[in-house]
Amino acid sequence: MSYNSKPISFVVLCSGKGSNLAAIIAACASGVIPAKVTAVISSSPEAKALHIAETNNIPAISLPASSIEDRNLYLVDQVKEIKPDFIVLAGYVKKVPDSLLEIFPDKIINIHPSLLPEFGGKGMYGLNVHKAVIEAGKKQSGLTIHLVSSEYDRGRILKQVSLDVAPEETPESLSDKILALEHKHFPLVIREFILETIRDEK
Distance CA 174, CA 165 (A): 7
Report the residue count for the chain.
202
CB of 34 to ligand GRF, least distance (A): 21
Q: Is 146 a catalytic residue?
A: no
Identify whether the C-beta of residue 6 lies closer than 8 Å to the C-beta of residue 85. no
Q: Is 182 in the site for ligand GRF (CB under 6 A)?
A: yes
In the bound state, the residue with its beta carbon closest to ligand GRF is 91
146 near ligand GRF, rule: CB under 6 A: no
Check if the beta carbon of residue 11 is closer than 8 Å to that of residue 88: yes
CA distance 113 to 142: 6
Size of the site for ligand GRF (CB under 6 A): 14
Choice from 161, 163, 179, 181 touching ligand GRF (CB under 6 A) = 179
8 with 199: CB under 8 angstroms? yes
Q: Mask: binding to ligand GRF, 92-111, rule CB under 6 A, as x and -?
A: -------------------x
Least separation in angstroms between CB 5 and ligand GRF: 32
| Active-site amino acid positions | 112
